[in-house]
Amino acid sequence: MAQDRDRAHARKQIQDGLKQVYGTYSDADVPDRFDLLMRQLKDKEAESTPEDKS
Amino acid sequence: MSVASPRRSEQTATLHADPREEIVEHLKPMRAFAMSLTKDWAKADDIVQDTIVKAWTNIDKFEPGTNMRAWLFTILRNTFYSSYRKVKREVADTDGVFSARLSEKPSHDGRLQMRDFEKALSKLPIEQREALILVGASGFSYEEAALTCGVAVGTIKSRVNRARNHLSALLDLNGNTNFEMTDEATLAVVAMNTSVTR
């Protein structure tokens, strides 16, 4: 009984810890390099599309 | 590129005419998952960048209406393991026997802080860490996690279970232990580490 209670408590502590740590990673600011990357990919796509059609 | 593309779940974003528009919505979760795998923001961002380029150029392989986050995580994971195999900087230790021998239990008075947890999490074998992160933090079902990792559902369940037991041992968790992870000092240290490593 006490073992089950300890196990449940440990599991809850782990879940809380996971959410806290992963939340910190998820909330981190996204560097500008990704804006630039998305723009480059879109530009490249826009450049290649007319040629593909012709 | 052959990757799993599970059915759309509640965690995924709105449908777009061009599915590539949706990629950016998963940037933060992708960075968090990559950080969980690499433990280093610079490496994590390199892997996320490679993942975005691969996803963008292979968008025809994505089935609209399915779970894009799981599809992106699968590509990200494959990208990580490709570079991981090349570098081989970590000791192969799938059962965590070696890391458990190296690890020190935190000395505490029944109160643990977030940095203790983060340190213990980083000591888990990579297979256990990714399974626990996918199921316990990213909101994936066992089935989605199994598809993402390319293993059976039972394998994911077993890895998650072993990860929990391993963490419990590393942190010396018992019925009297409590985390104090919202105190200002801990959050300041984590914020500082996060900005330094980026």
The segment(s) of chain B belonging to CATH 1.10.10.10 are: 90-198
CB contact under 8 A, A22 and B137: yes
Tell me, yes or no, if B72 comes closer than 8 A to chain A by beta carbon: no
Indicate the burial class of B48 (C-beta count within 10 angstroms; 0-12, 13-18, 19 or more).
buried
**pLDDT given for residue A34 in this prediction:** 96
**pLDDT given for residue B51 in this prediction:** 97
Distance from CA of A51 to the nearest CA of B (A): 17
3-class state of residue B178 by DSSP: strand
Name the stretches of chain A with pLDDT < 70: 50-54
Q: What is the pLDDT of residues B82-108, one digit of tens each?
A: 987 766 655 455 555 545 444 455 555
Q: What is the pLDDT of residues B5-14, one digit of tens each?
A: 555 544 545 6
Site from A9, A11, A13 to mutate, B interface, most B CB atoms within 10 angstroms: A13
Per-residue pLDDT of chain B (198 residues; tens, 9 = 90+): 444 455 554 454 566 678 888 999 999 999 999 999 999 999 999 999 999 999 999 999 999 888 999 999 999 999 999 987 766 655 455 555 545 444 455 555 555 678 888 999 999 999 999 999 999 999 999 999 999 999 999 999 999 999 999 999 998 886 666 666 555 555 555 555 544 444
Looking up tokens 């240290």 gives B189
Q: Give the residue from chain B lying closest to A36, CA to CA.
A: B49
Partners of A25 on chain B (C-beta within 8 Å) are: 31-32, 35-36, 194
**pLDDT given for residue B83 in this prediction:** 86
**pLDDT given for residue B154 in this prediction:** 97
Q: In CATH, which of 3.40.630.30, 3.90.1580.10, 1.10.10.10, 3.40.50.10490 is domain B90-198?
A: 1.10.10.10
CB contact under 8 A, A30 and B167: no
Distance from CA of B169 to the nearest CA of A (A): 10
Number of compact structural domains in chain A: 1
**pLDDT given for residue A51 in this prediction:** 56
Domain that holds residue A48: 2-53
**pLDDT given for residue B89 in this prediction:** 55
Is 3.30.1220.10 the CATH number for B20-89? no
Tell me, yes or no, if A31 comes closer than 8 A to chain B by beta carbon: yes
CB contact under 8 A, B27 and A27: no
Query: Helix/strand/coil (H, E, C) string of chain A?
Result: CHHHHHHHHHHHHHHHHHHHHHHHHHHCCCCCHHHHHHHHHHHHHHHHHHHHHC
The segment(s) of chain B belonging to CATH 1.10.1740.10 are: 20-89
- Cβ-Cβ pairs closer than 8 A, A with B, add up to 103
Distance from CA of A41 to the nearest CA of B (A): 8
